[in-house]
Structure 1
Amino acid sequence: MALGLDQTQLDRYSRHIILDDVGPDGQAALLDASVLVVGAGGLGSPVIQYLAAAGVGRLGIADDDVVERSNLQRQVIHGERDIDRPKVASAAEFVADLNPDVDVETHEIRIGPETVMDLVDGYDVVVDATDNFQARYLINDACALADIPVSHGAVYRFEGQVSTFERGPDSPCYRCLFPEAPPEGAIPDCATAGVLGVVPGMIGTVQATETIKLLLDHGDSLSGRLWCVDASRMDVESVPIRANPNCPVCSENPDIESVHDVTYADRCGIPAE
């Protein structure tokens, strides 16, 4: 057997194994990898689905919400029978049905400064599949401090964006792109503005692709680029992002040394002294 893969695994992952750039070594690496997905909703659903199908051996899923009927238009790993169930429980059951090779760790919590560092600890990659700015900045800052790569995704109506923050010497972070969050209410959420159901699927699938590439150490990631799609016109644009030498969290002399240095309840900035 190749690198400890049994016959069932050789069959399951055969289309990976015959790829020269994956092969049995790459599949073994995926089975040995760990990824935390924060958010089991519209973005998290395709991420969880494809990472599980790919055989990522340890999959953490963090979410404090329950499934609602209005979720089912886009959150494709949940079904009618899951309404009112915790999303992490529904997601874990979906993964168990799809691939028994994957060990799922569920975290039914809303991330905050008190919990985020313990939550991300020990994972190879973190996927930000959240839907609010406070969580995005918190994940970015925690992973910058812990030196963990992040796949970022966001959607709005017919539009979506993805980037990868690799934590390399020239890799920007989310704060390099957006130093502070917009004022509360400046950008309406999904419940107010709506979203075309397939758009989170498009963006989440790209996030899963980026994550798998990181785990395989293959190809060029979206580090240093913001990949944007407008589904209404099917326009795609890749916008360069530069690392900010004065970034408060990822520069050589950061102002943020702990997530407790930031007021995440406001615009996610450092309080004025």
Structure 2
Amino acid sequence: MLPPDTTDVQLSPDEVARFSRHLILPEVGMEGQKRLKAASVLCVGTGGLGSPLLLYLAAAGVGRIGIVDFDVVDHSNLQRQVIHGTSWVGKPKIESAKARILEINPHCQVDLYETALTSENALGIIEPYDLVCDGTDNFPTRYLVNDACVLLGKPNVYGSIFRFEGQATVFNLDAESPNYRDLFPEPPPPGMVPSCAEGGVVGVLPGIIGVIQATEAVKIITGIGTTLSGRLLLFDALGMKFRELKLRPNPERPVIEELIDYQEFCGVGGTAPGQEEAGSVPSITVAELKTVIDGQLEDILLLDVRNPPEADIAVIPGSVLMPLDRIESGEAIEDVRRLAEGKKLFVHCKLGGRSAKALLALGRHGIEGINVSGGIDAWSQEIDPSVQRY
């Protein structure tokens, strides 16, 4: 029930001093700060969005914060996942996040769930909390969080990011509110939306969207202001522009009665992004590719379909850069045909998903080739460590 009951809640002298800038706000005051202390928020994910969310929820005085994540801190996270530091690389994100939260607000109770959120555990994990903040980066988990919040009657503060663009809203604020299925009635085709690992993201963007999510959570808990329920806020960092779309419940939306298999629903079968395409084309491991290259028994063309900025970081020696967008648009088809004439074609990207897409596009023009599973990332780990990972 929000706002939470504050009958038995008191602020210590330290808390009064700590939250004094809230206490002097007429819209918040002592009662609002007590509501924050009495409230419990579950944050799913402690990555780009979860980092600012957790930092500002703790700083605001939320009394109980739950964190769901099973990943470890990686060097590539530090560009945007600001709750983590270099000394935490290789260690669990939830432990890093808890340590930072308690540095900010030692009065906060932090609950850790080092597990993937699944249809089997979601209701049990979410049920004790007043609201949920979705900081995930994949469609199966977003649908799962949404449906669990609908079944439990919990508000769902949503955000998503990609490259230079982000969006935020509040789902399921009450029984008449829209939810995630009103925004996405059906999931997009698998592999259609690249991950941040493949598409990239400017580091400050998740900070902006995550802080917006934290703002909405604070407003919902304290009962002040107008939330984003029924409004989808879109942000363009390159143009520094905000715009807003109305979001209404679909009267024909299917009733959510139970949690389902969300991997199957989204057509990903529990595989990583791009693996569906990779499974539909002939493939070779990086070790097998190395044997082919070293054997010099036939002429080969190793096509690199990553973007030019990625090639500036690292390349497999001897590869030819031909970005995927040029192949899918048809612009580069004849170039590839000419380069591959009389040669055996191998195609790679960073992880194997985009190269599989390239082969599917080339196949429609009668050009056949073999996908390099794991891409340049696997090459760096298994064949040549001097090739920079990113």
Normalising by structure 1, we get a TM-score of: 0.93
Other-structure match for 2:48 = 42
Deviations 1:124-167 (A, max 9, x none): 11000001011100000000000000000000000000010143
Q: Does 1:57 align with 2:79?
A: no
Other-structure match for 2:209 = 203
The two structures, once aligned, show a CA RMSD in angstroms of 1.3
Shift of the alpha carbon at 1:202? 0.3
Q: Does 1:231 align with 2:237?
A: yes
Report which structure shows greater RCO (CA 8 Å, sep ≥6): 1
Q: Do 2:150 and 2:172's aligned partners in 1 also have CA atoms closer than 8 Å? A: no
Q: Does 1:215 align with 2:221?
A: yes
Spell out the pairing of 1:132-151 with structure 2 (5 A cutoff): 132-151=138-157
The whole-number CA distance in structure 2 between the counterparts of 1:13 and 1:25 is 12
Q: Do 2:43 and 2:67's aligned partners in 1 also have CA atoms closer than 8 Å? A: yes
The whole-number CA distance in structure 1 between the counterparts of 2:181 and 2:258 is 15
Which residue identity does 2:187 align to in structure 1?
Answer: A
Deviations 1:92-131 (A, max 9, x none): 0111111111000000011111111111011011000001
Q: Does 1:25 align with 2:31?
A: yes
What is the number of equivalent residue pairs in this alignment? 260
Other-structure match for 1:265 = 263
Deviations 1:183-215 (A, max 9, x none): 110010000000000000000000000000000
The whole-number CA distance in structure 2 between the counterparts of 1:159 and 1:174 is 18
Other-structure match for 1:251 = none
Q: Do 1:121 and 1:146's aligned partners in 2 also have CA atoms closer than 8 Å? A: yes
Q: Do 2:149 and 2:172's aligned partners in 1 also have CA atoms closer than 8 Å? A: no
Which residue identity does 1:136 align to in structure 2?
Answer: R
Shift of the alpha carbon at 1:266? 3.2
Spell out the pairing of 1:7-18 with structure 2 (5 A cutoff): 7-18=13-24
SS at match of 1:222: coil
Normalising by structure 2, we get a TM-score of: 0.65
Q: Does 1:153 align with 2:159?
A: yes
Q: Does 1:190 align with 2:188?
A: no
Q: 1:142 to 1:268 in 2, by over 3 A?
A: farther
Shift of the alpha carbon at 1:235? 1.2
Q: Does 1:96 align with 2:102?
A: yes
Q: Do 2:188 and 2:266's aligned partners in 1 also have CA atoms closer than 8 Å? A: no
4+ aligned runs moved over 2 Å, structure 1:
266-269
The sequence identity of aligned pairs, in percent, is: 49
Shift of the alpha carbon at 1:268? 3.9
Q: Do 1:72 and 1:79's aligned partners in 2 also have CA atoms closer than 8 Å? A: yes
Shift of the alpha carbon at 1:170? 2.6
SS at match of 2:78: helix
Q: Does 1:70 align with 2:68?
A: no
SS at match of 1:85: coil
Other-structure match for 1:181 = 187
The whole-number CA distance in structure 1 between the counterparts of 2:71 and 2:194 is 19
Deviations 1:4-27 (A, max 9, x none): 222111110000000001000110
The whole-number CA distance in structure 1 between the counterparts of 2:123 and 2:141 is 13
SS at match of 1:220: coil
Q: Does 1:84 align with 2:82?
A: no
Q: Which runs of 5+ in 1 are unaligned?
A: 249-253
The whole-number CA distance in structure 2 between the counterparts of 1:158 and 1:267 is 28
Shift of the alpha carbon at 1:169? 3.5
Which residue identity does 1:61 align to in structure 2?
Answer: I
Which residue identity does 1:153 align to in structure 2?
Answer: G
The whole-number CA distance in structure 2 between the counterparts of 1:267 and 1:230 is 30
Q: Do 1:183 and 1:267's aligned partners in 2 also have CA atoms closer than 8 Å? A: no
Shift of the alpha carbon at 1:33? 0.3
**Among 127, 130, 133, which residue is 1:124 paired with?**
130
